Amino acid sequence: MAKDLSSQVWHGIQRKEIPWYPAIDAGKCIGCELCFLSCGRFVFSVEDDKHHKAVVELPYNCMVGCSTCATICPTEAISFPKRDLIWKLEKEHKIFKVVHQEAKVKREKAAVNIAREEAIRKINENPSRIKIEIAGQFGEKKFLVKLEELLDNRQYDIINLKLDVPTLQGLKQNAPAVMSFEIVATENDDLMEFVEEVKRIISLNKLILIKEEQIS
């Protein structure tokens, strides 16, 4: 069952004090059901028979000032009070002080939403983990030592490090091997800036970057 919104307040005015709602000329209604389908506030119901005539079931659910259903009705079976009824109420109840306050709250909420979206965008742009896979000769290059020096007093870390070598003797003899590891930011820092520093070390040591993959 649709929620009854008649106890709500419109800019400081009790909704039931505002006689704004549709009226239906049953003789003109052809049962097209456009009003029933289009109204998101469940103002209308439809007779449960083959004619599907529209009925105003929850009149005070109607949004004050809205007349969309009348606009789209193909037989002009729906009518509303004149708009000056609303203008008169606005003046009598001096609603604009309330309106300005409500507008301020709306602007503040919009600003919060914008800030939240911006934060999410930055998080998405700065992934929490990047997986790196490289290949080359590691035996005499002390690549891990250089990575450790790069991490010194930085808010980053290297995790899940794996070295795939044919044999340990082969590693000592500078046989090609494959290394993979993940770079993480331990604080909310720009991870990609650090990744670029790691890639420079990879390049300077004449290692081959096979894969760079973001891990969410």
- Report CA torsion sign: 146, 149, 154, 155: positive
Tens digits of per-residue pLDDT, 141-163? 688 889 899 998 888 899 999 98
Q: What share of the chain is helix, strand, coil (3-state, %, to 5)?
A: 40, 20, 40
What global pTM score does this model have?
0.56
- 24 φ, ψ (degrees, to nearest 5): -115, 130
Give burial (CB, 10 Å; 0-12/13-18/19+) of 128: middle
Query: In the beta sheet, which residues pair with residue 131?
Result: 182, 213
Contacts by 164-171 with C-beta closer than 8 Å and gap 24+?
A: 165/138, 171/138, 171/139
Here the tokens at position 35 are 């009003």
Instruction: State the average pLDDT for the chain.
Output: 89
Lowest model confidence (mean pLDDT) among 33-42, 140-149, 195-204:
140-149
Query: In the beta sheet, which residues pair with residue 162?
Result: 180
Per-residue DSSP letters for 151-172?
Answer: HTTSSEEEEEEEEE-S-HHHHH
Tens digits of per-residue pLDDT, 89-110? 999 999 999 999 999 999 999 9
Query: In the beta sheet, which residues pair with residue 183?
Result: 130, 158
Non-local (6+) Cβ contacts of 73 within 8 A are 32, 34, 35
